[in-house]
């Protein structure tokens, strides 16, 4: 990522919290109370995925009404989506993979970004382009902590946010790795709690996730 997050203050989204909640919202009206619950629980970086028609409105609402949140856009797949997310107020961008066109758009947006990788060759290609912070996806299916440990030796300059198949039991194992800044997950925003608008439960789950910093390692 190439530019600092405007708020909360941090050099990188990888440094905001040990866990980045990955949020899928069907109703943009739920965005603000959900984000407030996550922030209250200690998770200020929130990735709203572009998997529903409500996503851009949700990002816009959180950016405008929850000053303690650093709302980002996930599942960003095209230059058009990059522009739409930046215009909506996204403070970081996350993609499951990358192409030259997508990378150029993310770089040109001025918004911090995490392009997705799952192989050593993809990591090397991004390092060659000056990108040192990446999403490792799908983390568990792509080799999990063993794979990331293997990358740390030859590619120590790369830092990752592993996402995909990670839960509270496995997150500490990832956070203990020197090349992992934080992890992405959805266990603190279960679909049934969102559907029931049980913001208190989500805040409690978020607090537990935020506490994983001490349980498994550091989120530098």
pLDDT tens-place string over residues 176-209: 999 999 999 999 999 999 999 999 999 999 999 9
In our burial notation (b when 16+ CB lie closer than 10 A, e otherwise), range 5-19 reads beebebebbbbbbbb
Averaged pLDDT of the chain? 93
- Give the pLDDT of residue 142: 98
Asked if 122 is an active-site residue, the reply is: no
Residue 192, number of CB atoms within 10 A of its CB: 8
- Give the pLDDT of residue 78: 98
| Residue 73: HSE in the Cβ half-sphere, 13 Å Cα cutoff | 34
Active-site residue identified among 47, 133, 173, 203: 47
Active-site residue identified among 65, 133, 135, 149: 135
- Give the pLDDT of residue 12: 87
pLDDT tens-place string over residues 65-119: 999 999 999 999 999 999 999 999 999 999 999 999 999 999 999 999 999 999 9
- Give the pLDDT of residue 220: 35
Asked if 133 is an active-site residue, the reply is: no
Q: Are 128 and 97 in contact (CB under 8 A)?
A: no
pTM, full prediction: 0.92
- Residue 3: band (very low, low, confident or very high) from pLDDT cuts 50, 70, 90: very low
Is residue 121 exposed (0-12), middle (13-18) or buried (19+ Cβ within 10 Å)? exposed
């Amino acid at each position: 990522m190439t530019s600092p997050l405007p708020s909360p203050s941090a050099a990188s989204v990888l440094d905001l919290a040990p866990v980045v909640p990955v949020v899928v919202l069907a109703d943009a009206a739920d965005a603000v109370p959900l984000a407030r619950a996550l922030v209250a629980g200690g998770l200020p970086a929130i990735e709203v995925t572009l998997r529903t028609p409500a996503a851009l409105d949700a990002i816009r609402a959180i950016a405008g009404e929850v000053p303690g949140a650093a709302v980002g856009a996930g599942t960003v797949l095209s230059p058009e989506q990059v522009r739409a997310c930046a215009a909506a107020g996204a403070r970081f961008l996350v993609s499951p993979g990358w192409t030259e066109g997508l990378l150029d758009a993310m770089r040109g947006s001025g918004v911090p970004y995490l392009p997705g990788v799952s192989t050593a060759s993809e990591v090397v290609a991004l390092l060659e382009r000056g990108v040192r912070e990446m999403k490792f996806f799908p983390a568990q299916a792509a080799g999990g902590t063993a794979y990331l440990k293997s990358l740390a030796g030859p590619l120590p300059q790369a830092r990752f946010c592993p996402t995909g198949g990670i839960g509270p039991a496995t997150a500490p194992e990832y956070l203990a790795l020197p090349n992992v800044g934080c992890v992405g997950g959805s266990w603190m925003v279960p679909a049934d709690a969102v559907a029931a608008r049980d913001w208190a439960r989500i805040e409690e789950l978020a607090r537990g996730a935020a506490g994983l910093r001490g349980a498994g390692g550091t989120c530098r």
